[in-house]
Structure 1
Amino acid sequence: MLLSTPALSEEPPEEAREADVAERVAELDEPLYNPFIERYLLDEVRSLRTDLLNTRAELIEKVVNKELSVADKSMSYATDTVTYFFYLIAAATSILVLIGWNSIRDMRQQLTNLAEDRVNELVVVYEQRLKDIEEQLKQKSDIIHQNQADIERTNEVHSLWLKASQEPSQQNKITVYDQILELRPDDVEALSYKADAVLELQEPLWAISLCLRALKLAPDNGHALYQLACAYAEIGRWEDAVNNLAMAIDISEAYRDDASTDQSFAQLHEHDRFCSLVYTEETQTAVV
């Protein structure tokens, strides 16, 4: 019996069980469940479905409420932040208005004054520059006009010199020289050539005055010295004549030859100093 116990305790296979169940169901004379049991089962299933739907609705409601709470808190936080920011700006503005209004006004006034001072300085500088430019332009314009006048005067003087060289009459030459002296009062050449013309008219004192005037302007003018020597010789001042002739010859040797043939020195040909000054050894030998 002990050996047969394990064999009896073994469970039948699955196929045997299904076959056994099918056989028993086929042998039933009446339904396994009555209507009351079926009703009970249906009510339980419906109750489970209702509970499941209620649970789902509660879960959805909690999730929605949570999301609404988070959104409400976010909106409240944003609103509070903006409000505090504007409060801060309003407070800073109020403090600035109460404390710093005078400083801002003073700063604005200082900036305005500084800008005006700078503009005034620039205006003064540019006015001075414009004035300097105007002065320079005026000076250059005056120089141009003066040069034009000098050119015209030079051309006129040149034409008068040509006219004087072509005049046969000494009086007409003197008139032309006077016209030159009107244009150029300090023209030494005009004074000396006028003195030459005056000597031709036998006016030695007038010639001396003209020569002294010319030598005052140009002490080294050889022609004026020569004409002065001629004038002194005409009035008999031999030493003065020889002295001025010597200075003229020192300036130009050409006056030596002129003096040897000039009629103004005719009375000095016997004067020793005049002869030694005018005539060289070869010339004196030829004369002898």
Structure 2
Amino acid sequence: MASTKTCLTALLLSSLLLPLQSWGSPSPVADQAAQEAEADQAIDALDAPLYNAFTERYLLDEVRTLRQMIADLRVEATEKIVDREIMVASTAVRYATDTVTYFFYLIAGASTILVLVGWNSMRDIKERAGAFANEEIRRITASYEQRLDKLEEELHHKSRHIAQAQEEIELTNEIHSLWLKASQENTAEAKIAIYDQILELRTDDVEALTYKADAALLLGQAQWARSLANRALDIDPDNSHALYQRACAYAESDMPDEALRDLHRAIRKTDSLRLQAGRDSSFVSLHEHPRFLEMVVLPDRDEDHEDKTDDPASHA
């Protein structure tokens, strides 16, 4: 029995000293292994049970007492938590009640103030609210009516603009087809008839007047060509081709000064007319004129012979 107590004492001391030794030793893993080995040796050296019946009974009583204390502590903690929750709920209800009470006090005070300033009845309030609402409705309605009128006017304007643009596109397409048709005609009379159709569609078409003047020159109608060129220049005074056609008409009408004047203005605006004027048969009477020779570029004889074999309708 004495040896058993000695072993038990050694085991307890070793278990108590184990944390201290492991904390203070430089190599806790090795010391712990050594202590575990000593404990195993002490346990193996026991020749009697470690605990007797009285010790086991004591330990069981302590465990039961500890469980009872833990249960009592849990019940006490639950009671305290429930009490706190009840207190919080009561405080919230009290705050809500006070808020509602103060709100009703505020409404009552506001109603009293409204009565004091002259709004003696709910009917008066209703009438004033209705009048204000009607005034706002009239103002908003008038504003929207103005916006709708403006929008309607813009839509009409855009519709007219679109219709005009569509008409202009159709007119342009028709005139373009007439120009294509005129380019396929071989006689001056047929070309003039097509140019007249173009001028019926667009009276201020300078290009149509210019080409019609060129066709009139091909027919030998210099005065008519000059009149057509004048109409074109009334619309566009700086049109170089109209000036050129009028110069041709002046040259064929034996008016060299006027012809040279218009030709000079036309060449200043379009330099490529220098070469065309040198080849144009309308200026044959000016081939010996010094000013004419300074302004134009006369072709070689071989080129002149080739030009005579081509279509003479090349004024414009």
Q: TM-score range by the shorter chain?
A: 0.5 to 0.7
Structure 1 residues 105 and 271: alpha-carbon distance in aligned structure 2, compared to 1, 3 A threshold: same
Counterpart of 2:219 in structure 1 is 201
Counterpart of 2:189 in structure 1 is 171
* Structure with more relative contact order (C-alpha pairs < 8 Å, separation 6 or more): 2
Counterpart of 1:75 in structure 2 is none
Residue deviations 1:127-185 (CA, integer Å, cap 9, x gap): 11112222222222222222221221111111100111111121111111111112222
1:230 Cα deviation (Å)?
0.4
1:237 Cα deviation (Å)?
1.6
Is 1:121 aligned to residue 114 of structure 2?
Answer: no
1:229 Cα deviation (Å)?
0.3
Tell me how far apart the structure 1 counterparts of residues 297 and 189 of structure 2 sit (CA, whole Å).
33
Aligned length: 189
Q: List runs of 5+ in structure 2 lacking aligned partners.
A: 1-110, 305-316
TM-align CA RMSD? 2.8
Structure 1 residues 100 and 117: alpha-carbon distance in aligned structure 2, compared to 1, 3 A threshold: closer
Tell me how far apart the structure 2 counterparts of residues 125 and 143 of structure 1 sit (CA, whole Å).
27
Tell me how far apart the structure 1 counterparts of residues 220 and 129 of structure 2 sit (CA, whole Å).
89
Is 1:225 aligned to residue 248 of structure 2?
Answer: no
Is 1:141 aligned to residue 141 of structure 2?
Answer: no
Tell me how far apart the structure 2 counterparts of residues 100 and 220 of structure 1 sit (CA, whole Å).
82
Tell me how far apart the structure 1 counterparts of residues 238 and 210 of structure 2 sit (CA, whole Å).
12
Tell me how far apart the structure 2 counterparts of residues 212 and 124 of structure 1 sit (CA, whole Å).
57
Is 1:270 aligned to residue 275 of structure 2?
Answer: no
- Residues 1-288 of structure 1 correspond to what in structure 2 (within 5 A)? 107-279=125-297
Tell me how far apart the structure 1 counterparts of residues 119 and 125 of structure 2 sit (CA, whole Å).
10
Structure 1 residues 235 and 112: alpha-carbon distance in aligned structure 2, compared to 1, 3 A threshold: same
Tell me how far apart the structure 1 counterparts of residues 119 and 149 of structure 2 sit (CA, whole Å).
46
Residue deviations 1:224-283 (CA, integer Å, cap 9, x gap): 110010011121221110011111111222211221121211111121211221147x97
Tell me how far apart the structure 2 counterparts of residues 255 and 182 of structure 1 sit (CA, whole Å).
29
Counterpart of 2:99 in structure 1 is none
Identity %: 50
Larger Rg: 1
Tell me how far apart the structure 1 counterparts of residues 159 and 267 of structure 2 sit (CA, whole Å).
45
Amino acid across the alignment from 1:115? A
Conserved? CA contact 2:277–2:297, under 8 Å: no
3-state SS, counterpart of residue 219 of structure 1: coil
Amino acid across the alignment from 1:258? Q
Tell me how far apart the structure 2 counterparts of residues 245 and 100 of structure 1 sit (CA, whole Å).
95
1:104 Cα deviation (Å)?
6.0
Tell me how far apart the structure 2 counterparts of residues 184 and 203 of structure 1 sit (CA, whole Å).
23
Tell me how far apart the structure 1 counterparts of residues 220 and 278 of structure 2 sit (CA, whole Å).
20
Amino acid across the alignment from 1:122? I
Residue deviations 1:95-130 (CA, integer Å, cap 9, x gap): x7xx965x7665544433322221111111111111
